[in-house]
């Protein structure tokens, strides 16, 4: 047998992660001299087992028609291949759709199907899986136990991934990792109808955005980085086994949640529409499910599709041989909806907060607590949900705060983690907002402030971000000397809108003087929402709800 490869340029980087394509056997061994090359794109970690099976398959010189079938196996970036099959990546002479695709999870298959007609048409047939590896909770060896449940994990995290708990969550990006996608779906499913579900998912998004983790080794590297909160990684069982078997630093132990988990299942997906190529793909599929192939996947630390563990699975390498309970696999529609939700959630955000400091905000709402103080107390919780790359700014408004202008900038819109002077913007806001005071006798220049804020956000618009303005006020527009009416304000807002610049204005009203009708008309023009708080505690709840609103809209 002669081995060919790597075949440089056979598959473009758009589909591959810079890895090689290999062909096996020699063309001369085929009696007819005709060879059909079957292109197989597989998740990198399963490639060694697929390549072994392909080598044995190629040595058999199976024919379709008068052509010998020869499999070429490539390690492919699963997310990039999913994008291509969905119709968002353009095949070319060097970047072709494979005949067979073996992603690490059926979640990618569902995502492709849910992407639209082109995605559904790209997948000719989905055959049974060739391997399995459940998603587990990985914890550092020797740093204490964790009760085997998702509920216990959430509690250890302080009930939100960025909460003040004893653990720090490490999750890969769901847009690039099936493990990350599965983790997001498990969290979504187990939270069910809990009222704080949007907040937990928002906090999870911040955790993922701030801990750029692309591989399991990126996660395990955090096991040895510093002290403080105990790191907890959501990883595949196979990745944890391999890390421990290789003797790398930061040895880990797998925790199997009693509620169940999702598994990476490595489906065999036929994308070839040509009848002969589809028949050839079927022959290779059979070879990948024989006894030798099952042993090959186990040698790599995978379970067989029916859950049988390798003999190497022992406590010494941090895993157990017993198969964990399985959670129901989500359907195509559920996966598609959650993928879209994640894309919205992971989109960067630019937020301008307009805070009413008119004279009426000095009114006491409870002993020792004014309206402005009640509003100021909402900000720390809200800021804690936002990643350092979230862009936030704050304006105050009343009347005549900056000459004749009814508004004044307290903090410019920019990344929370950016240093402004001697401290970050986040720290500047946290220090300044609790000290807010109402302007004695000041009116409420609501209309002019909203128009100026909208104009500013439009002028500084960044297409890679979602944009919103949040207004906190206890009244209605009351600006002596101004001729600006509600009708004119709405007209100007409509005139400033551009199809490719969505800027949402959300309104939070508080107090007996709030004109809900007025606020609703302004919000409606911009596809925003209005909430009126009845108590100081309601302000915080509403503010957090509006921040996480984009999650619940899926």
Question: Are 59 and 160 in the same domain?
Answer: no
pLDDT surpassing 60 at residue 240: yes
Of the ranges 6-15, 165-174, 255-264, which is most confident?
Answer: 255-264
Q: Do residues 358 and 490 both lie within one domain?
A: yes
Say whether 248 sits in a helix, a strand or coil.
coil
* Phi, psi of 2, rounded to the nearest 5 degrees: -115, 140
For residues 112 and 63, state if they share a domain. Answer: yes
Distance between CA 236 and CA 434 in Å, rounded? 44
Residue 384 lies in a domain: yes
287 and 435 housed in the same domain = no
What is the predicted pLDDT for the residue at 13? 33
Helix, strand or coil for residue 531? strand
pLDDT for 414: 96
Name which of 307, 299, 232 is nearest 264 in CA terms: 307
Residue 406 lies in a domain: yes
For 460-513, what is each residue's pLDDT tens digit? 999 988 899 999 998 889 998 899 999 999 999 999 999 999 999 999 988 777
Q: Return the pLDDT at 387.
A: 79
The pLDDT of residue 552: 41
CA distances from 197 to 24, 160, 190, 295, 390 (A): 51, 9, 10, 42, 21
Tell me how many domains the chain contains: 3
Q: Give the relative orientation of helices 197-210 and 536-547 as an angle to the nearest 10 degrees.
A: 50
What integer pLDDT is reported at residue 311 of this predicted model? 96
Question: Are residue 304 and residue 285 in the same domain, yes or no?
Answer: yes
Q: Hey, what are 212's tokens?
A: 């750029």
CA distance 302 to 286: 19
- Provide the pLDDT for residue 554: 36
Handedness of CA 143, 146, 150, 154 (dihedral sign): negative
Q: Are residues 43 and 187 in the same domain?
A: no
Please report the pLDDT score of residue 42 as a whole number: 97
Residue 366 pLDDT class (50, 70, 90 cuts): confident
Q: Which two tokens stand for residue 483?
A: 């001729």
Domain containing residue 462: CATH number: 3.40.50.410
> Which residues form the domain of 213?
133-264
Q: What is the pLDDT of residues 215-228, one digit of tens each?
A: 899 899 988 876 56
Across the range 30-43, mean pLDDT stands at 88
For residue range 254-278, list pLDDT tens digits in order.
999 999 999 999 999 999 999 999 9
**Residues 230-254, mean pLDDT to the nearest whole number:** 93
Higher pLDDT, 413 or 346: 413
User: Tell me, what's the pLDDT at 428?
Assistant: 93
pTM, two decimal places: 0.77
pLDDT tens-digit readout, 47-95: 999 999 999 999 999 999 989 999 999 999 999 999 999 987 655 444 5
Q: Which positions ≥6 away from 253 have C-beta within 8 Å? A: 138, 139, 140, 141, 318
Terminal alpha carbon distance of the chain: 54
Contact status, residue 200 vs residue 155, Cβ threshold 8 Å: no
Same domain, 471 and 496: yes
- The confidence score (pLDDT) of residue 121 equals 93
């Amino acid at each position: 047998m002669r081995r060919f490869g790597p075949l440089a340029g056979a598959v473009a980087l758009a589909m591959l992660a810079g890895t090689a394509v290999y062909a096996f056997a020699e063309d001369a061994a085929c009696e007819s001299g005709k060879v059909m090359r079957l292109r197989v794109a597989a998740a990198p970690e399963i490639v060694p087992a697929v390549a072994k099976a392909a080598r044995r398959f190629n040595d058999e010189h199976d024919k379709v028609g008068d052509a010998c079938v020869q499999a070429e196996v490539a390690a492919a970036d699963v997310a990039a291949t999913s994008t291509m099959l969905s119709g968002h990546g353009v095949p070319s002479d060097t970047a072709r759709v494979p005949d067979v695709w073996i992603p690490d999870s059926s979640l990618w298959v569902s995502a492709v199907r849910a992407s639209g007609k082109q995605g559904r048409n790209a997948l000719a047939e989905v055959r049974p899986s060739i391997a399995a590896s459940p998603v587990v909770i990985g914890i550092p060896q020797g740093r204490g136990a964790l009760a085997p449940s998702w509920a216990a994990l959430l509690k250890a995290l302080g009930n939100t991934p960025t909460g003040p708990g004893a653990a720090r969550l490490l999750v890969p990006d769901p847009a690039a990792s099936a493990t990350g996608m599965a983790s997001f779906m498990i969290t979504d499913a187990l939270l069910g109808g809990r009222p704080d579900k949007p907040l937990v998912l928002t906090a999870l998004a911040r955790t993922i955005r701030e801990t750029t983790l692309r591989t399991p080794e990126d996660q395990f590297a955090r096991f040895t980085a510093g002290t403080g909160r105990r790191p907890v990684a959501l990883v595949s069982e196979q990745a944890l086994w391999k890390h421990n078997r290789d003797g790398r630093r930061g040895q880990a132990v797998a925790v199997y949640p009693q509620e169940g988990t999702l598994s990476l299942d490595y489906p065999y997906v036929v994308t070839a529409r040509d009848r002969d190529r589809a028949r050839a793909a079927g022959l290779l599929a059979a070879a990948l499910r024989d006894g030798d192939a099952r042993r090959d996947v186990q040698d790599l630390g995978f379970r067989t599709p029916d859950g049988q563990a390798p003999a190497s699975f022992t406590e010494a390498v941090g895993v157990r041989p017993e198969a964990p309970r399985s959670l129901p696999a989500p359907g195509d529609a559920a996966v598609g909806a959650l993928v879209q939700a994640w894309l919205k959630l992971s989109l960067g955000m630019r937020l301008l907060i307009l805070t009413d400091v008119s004279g009426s905000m000095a009114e006491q709402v409870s002993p020792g607590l004014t309206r402005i103080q009640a509003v100021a107390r909402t900000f720390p919780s809200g800021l804690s949900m936002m990643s350092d790359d979230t862009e936030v700014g704050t304006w105050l408004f009343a009347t005549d705060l900056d000459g004749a202008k009814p508004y004044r900038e307290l903090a410019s819109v920019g990344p929370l983690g950016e240093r402004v002077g001697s401290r970050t913007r986040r720290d500047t806001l946290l220090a300044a907002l609790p000290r807010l005071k109402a302007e004695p006798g000041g009116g409420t220049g609501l209309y002019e402030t909203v128009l100026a804020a909208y104009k500013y956000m439009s002028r500084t618009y960044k297409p890679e971000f979602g944009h919103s303005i949040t207004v906190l006020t206890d009244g209605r527009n009351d600006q002596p000397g101004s001729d600006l009416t509600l009708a004119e304000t709405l007209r100007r807002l409509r005139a400033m809108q551009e199809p490719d610049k969505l800027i949402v204005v959300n309104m939070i009203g508080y107090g007996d003087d709030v004109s809900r009708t007025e606020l609703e008309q302004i919000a409606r023009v911009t596809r925003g929402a209005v909430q009126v708080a009845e108590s100081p505690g309601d302000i915080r709840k509403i503010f957090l709800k509006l921040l996480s609103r984009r999650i619940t809209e899926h």
